[in-house]
Amino acid sequence: MAKKVGVSEATVSRVLNGKPGVSDATRAAVLTALDVLGYERPTQLRGERARLVGLVLPELGNPIFPALAEIVGGALAQRGFTPVLCTRTAGGLSEADYVEMLLEQQVSGVVFAGGHFAEADAPHEHYFRLLALGLPVVLVNAASDNLDFPRVSTDDAVAVEQAFAHLVSLGHEHIGLVLGPEDHIPSRRKLAALRLAAEAAGIDKISVEHAMFSLEGGQAVTNRLIRNGVTGIICASDPLALGAIRAVRRLGMSVPEDISVVGFDDSNFMNCTNPPLTTVRQPIEAIGRAAVTLLVNQIDGAVVTAEELLYEPELVVRGSTAPAKVRALV
């Protein structure tokens, strides 16, 4: 390395350790040689020129993710960083592909939101690589226990407790829960919370369905819930809730007169649906800014705890929930 650049080993050491006494031109030459020779830069030197930060999202179809991207991107820009948006698409780049691309760009860090880290059965090798490299990373959402990164999440248990208590207060005695896939960690937390809440309330009629996170997924499983006799449905996302409402209507019933529906997120325009959606609001402004603070602190060399920060959601009552009425099974 020193021979290739034409400097002493001591000079290379000063550059790699961020020590003074090296000209800007020499520092740039050493860093360029690192890149050309295929070596990983020390963490504190990654992205020094471009100050790039990767923002990896699972999709943009759910309005909560563009909203989060706007908050995180704005907060990064205020700190002098440029966000690089990476979104998984069917047949497109995988999360691991994006990680490889971001490493090639010498990003200063990565924020993952709702990615494979929240899926117990998904590949996690790219996360272990980032851990080994010591690259600053923050996860937004509940994660598998073996991924020792700083995490910022909405409290899934509190969200379900709020939605469940609301439906019980309206007289609902058979409540359904629409979750994501069975290996989805936030969905597992919601399910555990529902079972505890139902036991505490003395309600033994709960029905649970797992679906893909989409309107169509919510519609498909809601048909089964209604056949089982539920009168109130809690959904793990707003698109799932909109799918549930569509299923109710296509069965010739109405929301909330026949079935009450509660969403999760309070993403854009949920107050404009028909009826306006009762949902549990994620505090994404606070979550997004906390994620950026945790990431920048790591980039600046501060020690950041890997303990999960849980933010409390808020139930927003609108027109999709009403008192339960006795009805015949479909």
pLDDT at residue 170 in the model: 98
Is 90 exceeded by the pLDDT of residue 296? yes
Average pLDDT over residues 296-325: 94
Question: Average pLDDT in the 197-207 region?
Answer: 95
Q: What is the pTM of this model?
A: 0.82
Q: What is the pLDDT of residue 330?
A: 43
Average pLDDT value for residue range 145-161? 95
Mean pLDDT, to the nearest integer, of 37-48? 59
Select the more confidently predicted residue: 48 or 98: 98
Note the pLDDT of residue 47.
Answer: 47
Q: Kindly list the structural domains of the chain, giving each domain's residue range(s) and its CATH number in brackets, ordered by start.
A: 2-45 (1.10.260.40), 52-154+283-312 (3.40.50.2300), 156-281 (3.40.50.2300)
Confidence class for position 167, pLDDT limits 50, 70, 90: very high
User: Could you tell me the pLDDT band of residue 49, with boundaries at 50, 70 and 90?
Assistant: very low
Per-residue confidence (pLDDT) for residue 328, from 0 to 100 = 46
- What was the pLDDT predicted at 138? 97
Label each residue of the chain as H, E or C.
CHHHHCCCHHHHHHHHCCCCCCCHHHHHHHHHHHHHHCCCCCHHHCCCCCCEEEEEECCCCCCHHHHHHHHHHHHHHHCCCEEEEEECCCCCCCHHHHHHHHHHCCCCEEEEECCHHHECCCCCHHHHHHHHHCCCEEEECCCCCCCCCCEEEECHHHHHHHHHHHHHHCCCCEEEEEECCCCEHHHHHHHHHHHHHHHHHCCCEEEEEECCCCHHHHHHHHHHHHHCCCCEEEECCHHHHHHHHHHHHHCCCCCCCCCEEEEEECCCCCCCCCCCCEEEECCHHHHHHHHHHHHHHHHCCCCCCCCEEEECCEEECCCCCCCCCCCCCC
Render pLDDT for 50-77 as a digit per residue (tens, 0 to 9): 589 999 999 988 999 999 999 999 999 9
- Between 34 and 22, the more confident residue is 22
Q: How confident is the model at residue 329 (pLDDT cuts 50, 70, 90)?
A: very low
More confident of the two residues 179 and 20: 179
Residue 176 has pLDDT above 70, yes or no: yes
pLDDT grade for 34, boundaries at 50, 70 and 90: low
Considering the chain, what is the average pLDDT of its residues? 90
Higher-confidence residue of 292 and 8: namely 292
Q: Tens digit of pLDDT for each residue in 71-83?
A: 999 999 999 999 9
What pLDDT is attached to residue 287?
A: 98
pLDDT tens profile 83-142: 999 998 767 789 999 999 999 999 999 999 999 999 999 999 999 999 999 999 999 999
Please write the tens of the pLDDT for every residue from 235-250. 999 999 999 999 999 9
Determine the average pLDDT of the residues in 166-181. Answer: 97
